Amino acid sequence: MKQFFKSAAIVAASILLTVSISSCNKTTETTDEANIETKNVIIKQYLNHTVYPTYGKLATNAETLVSDLETLKANKTQANLNKACATFLEARHWWEMSEAFLYGAASDFGIDPHIDTWPLDETEFNSLMSQLDLIALLEQDEDGSVAQEKLAPSLLGFHGLEYILFRNGEARPVSEITDDYMTFVVAVARDLRNHCFQLEVSWNANAPQAHKDLLEELEFNTTLANGNTYGENMTLAGQAGSTYSTRTQALQAILDGCIDIADEVGTSKIGKPHTGDDPTYVESPYSQKSIQDFTDNITSVQNAYMGGNEGERDEDLSVHHFIKNSNAELDAKVVGAINNAIDKIKNMKAPFVNNYLDVSAGEAMEACQELSDVLSEAKSALNDK
Amino acid sequence: MLGGLVATAITSCHRTEPLPTVISEETYAGGELGTTFNRSHSAYEDPTPATEKAGLTTQFRYGEAFFERSYTQNNPPFNGLGPLYIRNSCIACHPGYGHGMRMNRYRADDWGNGYLLVFTDRNDTYLSSYTGMPQTKAVAPFKAPVDETKIQINWLSYVDEWGNQFPDGERYNLTYPEVYIPEDAFYVPLEVGGNPIPYGDFVCRLESTIGIYGTGLIDAIPDDSLKAQYQKEYNDGYMQNGLNPAMWAGSDWAPTGLYGNTTHPKKYTYALTRGPLQDAPGANAIWNITNVTHRTKMGHYMTAAYATKASQDPDVQAEFYNYFPQYNLTGNVETDIYNYLMMNDQIPESLKVPEMKDEDYVNFMVWHRGLAVPAARDLDDPDVQRGKELFKEMGCAYCHRPSWQTGDDNFTDPAGFFSDSDPRLPRYPHQKIWPYSDYIQHKLHMENDIRTGWCRTTPLWGRGLSAVCTGRSDRLHDCRAQTVIEAIMWHGNIQSDARRTVEKFRELPKKDRDAVVKFIDAI
């Protein structure tokens, strides 16, 4: 790898030299930071092998969920419900795997609160079920836009669907699902699909054209103000037109996303129920998949830090490798903290909704908080590198 | 040799990355106790060092949830929404913890919509039949006071006396919003002082939220320091519009310049409506935006006019007892509806249970006081330094006063929930802070101006990170400016208090204009 970095440095220097000599006014480079080529490669790996594939799978599964629910609506069988529930869980898995990068489109466009607000407002839901004219409108809601316009965020997204499809950790008996409930879930699933497409397309300029077309039809925002995708914005770090004035800031944003989710899982998702003895803070009480959610959240951190999702990871092209080169001890702490957090979460007594006071929950909480702290150290260590 | 050549090429036309070891006091925009060095997407969301040092980080994180999460009617822990509400969460109006976004329509659920509707008559008097911040959402069986689907926001072009062009030919856009609401959108009659007004006298304007970071630091500015600033500006006589007589009476505060029954001046909101932070926009909004009650705010944000209308509405009467059976107290549904909405003394104490727990309210205020200001960035960049010099020379720094010194920060709570200097909240004594505002109102005489024309100088700190933290950088009270240049040029009306400064700005060469913008984005 020494060879890689040595030649990368020479390449970087020649690029700078060429650009600088040809014309100072024409370059869009705004910084003279070090290790530019290495950082560019890390950013590219992160985008192509963590962000884009995660959102891609989320989008695909959200789309499949719509067709599964349409199938269920046409033919209300337990088998069809079970299939829809399995697809729901797969889609949710990929959403939770994206939570190390909730910055960008997920927050700027309010997609996170739109698709992941909880708890569901049961009073509001019951009120909806008595509004026959609104249900009739939802029945005609071919593209999810009625759900988007007419339903409160506390009815939409994953948790709206989870409430109808699951009870006590399993698919509900299909007989409990009325026709009006089905009208609701199909409309909500279409709206969820639209926003999952929005995440995918807003980051990845090469997202499927069909997804881009749907969003254009729905007039969804899919770029920054200057027309760049979030992926392009990060790729252009250190150049004019990017919100990252250096590539270091882009790497620090990668870690910042990790810090945010590690802290949230530790302090809020596990910590608040555990220390406050308050089960109303448990996030997925109907499907009882909280522990899976937490595991996916920290795996998301691992993918972001280690250079890609499982099956397409290249640790040499990662923030982990970059930090290891200048501070092996710190990197080892981070890697250890990630593995420790995942282990402790997997070790939690299941289901979380019934065991949030257990000692195993406390250990997982602490492991996540430690992870958040060491990631903050890693973020600072990136200054001037 | 290669390294040497590269070094030469670099220094001739690239700026150097600032070294973290060289930190001037100005970098600490929130003082040492109030600044975060985060410049990433979460820069507006960090706890202050004071919060961390006081061991309040966990409470801060717990309190944050009450800002970020959506409220429900009856599902804890974020329950209590309704009967009427403006938004179902706080972050809905403060996207990314920052400034509201420019919108093409008004919907409570549109992400980024930080607008409050301002309903007045042609004399700028607020309607009495609507809450000061009109609600557009209701829970069943109630109807919204105004149908938001009928509200139209039209963006119009404006051409200033210079043709929207600098002397060197560079152009800028000026646009501003006008709001139209048809008469049939109103469920509640239009009344001022309890008396009906003709529809033709009705005016609606927009006021957007700004960021929340640093409000704890502002609270720590001593009253006397603000008083001295008023006296100085009054004595200087530079402002062609003078000072607002509702705030300053020449040599002392006007009676309405002080907050409520307190001796504390008003510092917060465009209209300077709030004083000590513990009873200021956030502390009130956690109640009045969502109508979630807590121990010192047990009423409903409501008007008698709405309560009357709803109680007499046959549709509401038909369903009220189904939705609110526990408020069937007299058997007379009109009376019961009215009393419930007004949450008056006809409602027994047993039904007046706070929807937000004390502990959660405390945590929320830890978060609110505890939000850090991002450190100023790139201050040693020569362009930023040049911009700073010009900002001062031209007179921008007169209203956008760069810095203040906080006092002992023995904060108070006019609402009586917290004691003076309550140890449960973080404090910011003796900090030099850099908000770039005098906290005094001036007039810019903009097209379709803010209500009354008086507008508190908006603090500029941290705004350069808006695109990173929220996705947009809209400025001014109704988000009419999409760039810093547009914001500056809206200061240029011939009657504006900033007129002479804008004239100087116009005369600058482009390089210097860009330097001023860079400075404003750096603080």
For the cut 50, the answer to whether the pLDDT of residue A187 exceeds it is yes
Distance of alpha carbon A319 from alpha carbon A329, whole angstroms = 14
The three-class DSSP label of residue B443 is strand
Q: In terms of CA atoms, which chain A residue is nearest residue B102?
A: A225
Query: Can you say whether residue B218 is alpha, beta or left, with left for phi > 0 and alpha for psi between -120 and 50 degrees?
Result: alpha
For the cut 60, the answer to whether the pLDDT of residue A57 exceeds it is yes
- Are the beta carbons of A243 and B468 separated by less than 8 Å? yes
Determine contact: A169 vs chain B, CB below 8 A.
no
For the cut 50, the answer to whether the pLDDT of residue A23 exceeds it is no
Could you tell me what percent of chain A has a pLDDT over 70? 92
* Total Cβ atoms within 10 A of residue B426: 26
> What Å distances lie between residue A53 and A199, A344, B494, CA to CA?
12, 27, 56
> Residues B406, B365: contact at Cβ < 8 Å?
no
> Residues A42, A305: contact at Cβ < 8 Å?
no
Specify the amino acid at residue B193. Answer: G
- Are the beta carbons of B65 and A260 separated by less than 8 Å? no
Joined tokens for residue A129: 């079920």
Q: Which of B2, B16, B69, B75 to mutate to test the interface with A (most CBs of A within 10 A)?
A: B75
* Total Cβ atoms within 10 A of residue A94: 22
Specify the amino acid at residue A148. Answer: Q
The three-class DSSP label of residue B196 is strand
Q: What number of residues does chain A have? A: 385
Q: Is B147 exposed, middle or buried (0-12, 13-18, 19+ CB in 10 A)?
A: middle
* Total Cβ atoms within 10 A of residue B223: 17
Determine contact: A246 vs chain B, CB below 8 A.
yes
Residues β-bridged to residue B443: B454
pLDDT of residue A384: 80
pLDDT of residue A283: 86
Determine contact: A120 vs chain B, CB below 8 A.
yes
Contacts of B42 in chain A (CB under 8 A): 103, 256, 259-260
Query: Can you say whether residue B472 is alpha, beta or left, with left for phi > 0 and alpha for psi between -120 and 50 degrees?
Result: beta
Residue A47: phi and psi, rounded to 5, are -70, -50
Joined tokens for residue B319: 């369903």
Specify the amino acid at residue B245. Answer: P
Shortest CB distance from B62 goes to which of A119, A245, A272?
A272
Q: Which helix (H) or strand (E) holds B456?
A: strand B454-456
> Dihedral sign, CA of B448, B451, B452, B458?
negative
User: Each residue of A230-282: pLDDT tens digit?
Assistant: 999 999 999 999 999 999 999 999 999 999 999 999 999 999 999 988 889 99
- Cα angle, residue B217 at apex, residues B216 and B219 outer, rounded to 5°: 65
Distance of alpha carbon B475 from alpha carbon B486, whole angstroms = 9
Distance of alpha carbon B215 from alpha carbon B268, whole angstroms = 9
- Cα angle, residue B117 at apex, residues B111 and B120 outer, rounded to 5°: 175
Joined tokens for residue B340: 């419930």
> Dihedral sign, CA of B261, B267, B272, B273?
negative
Distance of alpha carbon B97 from alpha carbon B218, whole angstroms = 17
Determine contact: A127 vs chain B, CB below 8 A.
yes
ipTM of the complex: 0.92
Residue B515: phi and psi, rounded to 5, are -65, -40
> Residues A382, A248: contact at Cβ < 8 Å?
yes
Distance of alpha carbon B203 from alpha carbon B452, whole angstroms = 12
Cis before A351 (ω within 30): yes
Distance of alpha carbon B494 from alpha carbon A373, whole angstroms = 54
Cis before B47 (ω within 30): no
Distance of alpha carbon B146 from alpha carbon B204, whole angstroms = 12
DSSP tally for chain B: helices H, then strands E: 17, 14
A29 band by pLDDT with thresholds 50, 70 and 90: low
Q: Is B145 exposed, middle or buried (0-12, 13-18, 19+ CB in 10 A)?
A: buried
Joined tokens for residue B284: 């009130």
Distance of alpha carbon B283 from alpha carbon B363, whole angstroms = 12
Q: What is the DSSP letter of B37?
A: -
Q: Give the residue ranges of DSSP H helices in A226-327.
A: 230-235, 247-263, 271-276, 290-306, 319-326
Kind of pairing between the strands at B404-405 and B441-443: unpaired
Q: In terms of CA atoms, which chain A residue is nearest residue B65?
A: A268
User: Each residue of B364-376: pLDDT tens digit?
Assistant: 999 999 999 999 9
The secondary structure of A160-219, three-state, reads HHHHHHEECCEECCHHHCCHHHHHHHHHHHHHHHHHHHHHHHHHCCCCCHHHHHHHHHHC
Kind of pairing between the strands at B195-196 and B373-374: unpaired
Q: What number of residues does chain B have? A: 523
Distance of alpha carbon B103 from alpha carbon B112, whole angstroms = 8
A-B contacts (CB, under 8 Å): 145
Which of A:64-103 have CB within 8 Å of B?
103
> Residues B34, B431: contact at Cβ < 8 Å?
yes
> What Å distances lie between residue B289 and A269, B81, B371, CA to CA?
26, 9, 20
> What Å distances lie between residue B17 and A197, B21, B184, B380, CA to CA?
37, 12, 58, 9
pLDDT of residue A278: 86
Low-confidence ranges of chain B (pLDDT < 50): 1-19
Joined tokens for residue B79: 């329950």
pTM: 0.92
The string of DSSP codes covering B332-370 is -HHHHHHHHHHT-TTS-GGG---SS-HHHHHHHHHHHHT
Specify the amino acid at residue A40. Answer: N
pLDDT of residue A7: 39
pLDDT of residue B13: 35
- Are the beta carbons of B111 and A33 separated by less than 8 Å? no
Distance of alpha carbon B367 from alpha carbon B384, whole angstroms = 32
* Total Cβ atoms within 10 A of residue A362: 17
What lies within 8 Å, CB to CB, of B117 at 6+ separation is B106, B133, B134, B136, B146, B151, B179, B204, B205, B206
For the cut 80, the answer to whether the pLDDT of residue A11 exceeds it is no
Q: Give the residue ranges of DSSP H helices in B416-498.
A: 466-470, 484-489
Distance of alpha carbon B516 from alpha carbon B510, whole angstroms = 10
Which of A:274-303 have CB within 8 Å of B?
276, 278, 280-281
The three-class DSSP label of residue B179 is strand
What lies within 8 Å, CB to CB, of B30 at 6+ separation is B36, B48, B213, B214, B217, B372, B373, B375, B428, B431, B433, B434, B461
User: A206: number of CA atoms within 13 Å, CB side?
Assistant: 5
pLDDT of residue A276: 86
User: Each residue of A134-176: pLDDT tens digit?
Assistant: 999 999 999 999 999 999 989 999 999 999 999 999 999 999 9
Q: What beta strand segments (E) does chain A contain? A: 166-167, 170-171
Q: Which helix (H) or strand (E) holds B191?
A: strand B191-192
Distance of alpha carbon B118 from alpha carbon B120, whole angstroms = 6
The three-class DSSP label of residue B178 is strand
Determine contact: A268 vs chain B, CB below 8 A.
yes
Distance from CA of A124 to the nearest CA of B (A): 7
Determine contact: A119 vs chain B, CB below 8 A.
yes
pLDDT of residue A385: 84
Joined tokens for residue A235: 């790729």
Tokens 């409470």 belong to residue: B59
User: Each residue of A276-305: pLDDT tens digit?
Assistant: 888 899 988 888 899 999 999 999 999 999
Q: Which helix (H) or strand (E) holds A54?
A: helix A52-74
Distance of alpha carbon B60 from alpha carbon B58, whole angstroms = 5
Contacts of A198 in chain B (CB under 8 A): none
Kind of pairing between the strands at B203-208 and B115-120: antiparallel
